[in-house]
């Protein structure tokens, strides 16, 4: 059953799929990778964004990507508020958030799930757009436009975030807050403001990522549970806080999953990617591209 064609195809699809994983993990790479917030509600926020996109698409026929952009400011503000609550609860008390932070965000995730169910019901939802359900043809190859969109958006997001973090004052402050709060104070920035801003950005990115999620596949209210492992896997494997690293790690995962699926059978695909994660963690705990003081 093996053929070079299939392998090549698996690699191409894997790269595109990896980009999609990368896009939905980028926000977490900021919130968890840079701010050390154990944000297990990240996928729940993501699904919430998908439903917002669905709502705009279904009722006002807004293109999903445009809808994703439209909800970005709302999610930014939402992120600011969420961080404020988190800060008041944990960081301010100077206690290690650890377990309780995780529990807190699990609680938030459950609440979001139920709110979605109450508003939209339990059925799965998807969006319509010109690029959903069609493929780009190149000789014998066919590549779904959905994945090309994911690829493009992921790349643009990664580049923008990387530029933002390295070129702007606020961006540099965000990176500084991850490494050395004292140095940040010397720069004259308030760590709380910086972190809150960063969390806002992490959440805003979810607006577009949520649009991708529902473009690539239909969503249902409890889809977030499937993405907890996957997004954390990508971010941790990349090494905390590296945007380009996140994309590369996601691509590695996507390709590995895709190749295993094509050559050995789909049912082993999740085990393979998480075995890779375990391997990376055991050998190189700081991740493939990680910072480590």
Partner 1 sequence: MSKKVSKPRSISRRRLLATAGAALAATPLGVNLLRAQQGPIRIGMSMPQTGGLAGGGKASLLGIEIWRDDVNAKGGLLGGRKVELVVYDDKSSAAETPAIYSKLIDVDKVDLLFAPYATVPTAPIMPMVKQRGLLLMGNFSFQVNSKVGHDMWFNNAPWGPADSWASSFLDIGQKAGGKSMALLAADQEFAQNLAKTAREVAAQRKLPVVFDQAYPPSTVEFSSIIRALKATKPDIVYVASYPPDSTGILRAVNEIGIGDSVKVFGGGMVGLQFGAVMENMGSLLNGVVNYNTWLPEKSMYFDGTKEFFDKYTKRAVEAKIDPLGYYLAPFGYASGQMIEQAIGKVGSLDQKALAKYLRENTHKTIVGPIAFSADGERKETAVLQAQFRGVVDKNMEQFRSSGKQVILFPDSLKSGELVAPFEAARK
Partner 2 sequence: MTRNSMAFWTGAAVFLAAVFVMTQVVGNQYPFFAGYVILQFIALAVAWSILGGYAGYVNFGTSAFYGVGVYSSVFLVKAFGAPLPLQILAAAAIGALMGLALGVLTLRMQGIFFSIATIALTIIIETAITNWRYVGGAAGIQIQRPPVTAPFENYVQMLFFVQALLVVLAVAISRYIQNSWIGRGLQALRDDELAAECTGVPTLRLRLLACVISGALLCAVGAPAAMYLQYADPGSAFNLNYSVTTLAMSLIGGTAHWSGPIIGAILLGTTQQLLTVTISSEVNVLVLGLMLVLFVVGAPQGIIGLVGRLRGKKEGGA
**Whole-number Å distance between alpha carbons of 176 and 214:** 34
Is there binding between residue 270 and partner 1 (CB under 8 A)?
yes
Closest CA to 111 of 68, 75, 82, 91: 82
In the list 18, 22, 27, 38, the residue contacting partner 2 (rule: CB under 8 A) is 38
Residues 6+ apart with CB under 8 A from 124: 218, 219, 220
Question: How buried is residue 143: exposed, middle or buried, by Cβ count under 10 Å (0-12/13-18/19+)?
Answer: middle
Is there binding between residue 54 and partner 2 (CB under 8 A)?
no
Residues 53 and 211 sit within 8 Å (Cβ to Cβ): yes
Is there binding between residue 48 and partner 1 (CB under 8 A)?
no
Looking at the Cβ atoms of 68 and 241, the one nearer to partner 1 is 68
In the list 9, 69, 270, 289, the residue contacting partner 2 (rule: CB under 8 A) is 270
**Which 206-225 positions form the footprint of partner 1 (CB under 8 A)?**
216-218, 220, 222-223
Tokens read off for 285: 């705990």
In the list 56, 174, 236, 243, the residue contacting partner 2 (rule: CB under 8 A) is 236
**Which 90-129 positions form the footprint of partner 2 (CB under 8 A)?**
93, 95, 98-104, 106-111, 113-114, 117-118
Residues 35 and 199 sit within 8 Å (Cβ to Cβ): yes
- Where are any strands of DSSP class E within 93-165? 135-138, 141-144
Shortest distance in whole angstroms from residue 177 CB to partner 2? 18
Residues that bind partner 1 (CB under 8 A): 1, 3, 5-6, 9-10, 13-14, 17, 20, 117, 120-126, 128, 132-135, 142-147, 216-218, 220, 222-223, 226, 230, 258, 261-262, 265-267, 269-270
């Amino acid at each position: 059953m093996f053929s070079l064609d299939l392998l090549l195809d698996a690699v191409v699809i894997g790269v595109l799929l990896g980009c999609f994983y990368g896009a939905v993990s980028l926000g977490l790479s900021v919130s968890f990778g840079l701010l050390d917030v154990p944000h297990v509600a990240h996928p729940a926020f993501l699904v919430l964004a998908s439903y917002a996109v669905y709502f705009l698409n279904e009722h006002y026929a807004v293109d999903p990507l445009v809808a994703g952009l439209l909800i970005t400011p709302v999610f930014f503000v939402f992120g600011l508020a969420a961080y404020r609550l988190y800060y008041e609860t944990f960081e301010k008390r100077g206690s290690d958030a650890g377990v309780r932070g995780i529990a807190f965000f699990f609680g938030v995730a459950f609440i979001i799930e139920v709110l979605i169910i109450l508003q939209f019901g339990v059925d799965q939802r998807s969006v319509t757009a010109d690029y959903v359900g069609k493929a780009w043809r190149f000789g014998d190859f066919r590549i779904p436009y959905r994945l090309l969109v994911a690829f493009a958006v992921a790349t643009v997001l990664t580049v923008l975030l990387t530029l933002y973090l390295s070129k702007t004052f606020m961006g540099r402050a965000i990176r500084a807050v991850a490494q050395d709060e004292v140095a940040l104070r010397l720069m004259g920035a308030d760590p709380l403001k910086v972190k809150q801003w960063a969390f806002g950005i992490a959440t805003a990115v979810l607006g577009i990522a949520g649009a991708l999620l529902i473009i690539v596949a239909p969503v249902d209210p409890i889809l977030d549970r499937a993405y907890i492992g996957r997004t954390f896997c990508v971010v941790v494997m990349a090494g905390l806080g590296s945007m380009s690293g996140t994309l590369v790690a996601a691509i590695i995962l996507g390709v590995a999953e895709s190749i295993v699926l094509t050559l050995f059978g789909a049912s082993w695909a999740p085990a393979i990617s998480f075995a890779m994660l375990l391997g990376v963690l055991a050998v190189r705990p700081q991740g493939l591209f990680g910072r480590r003081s």
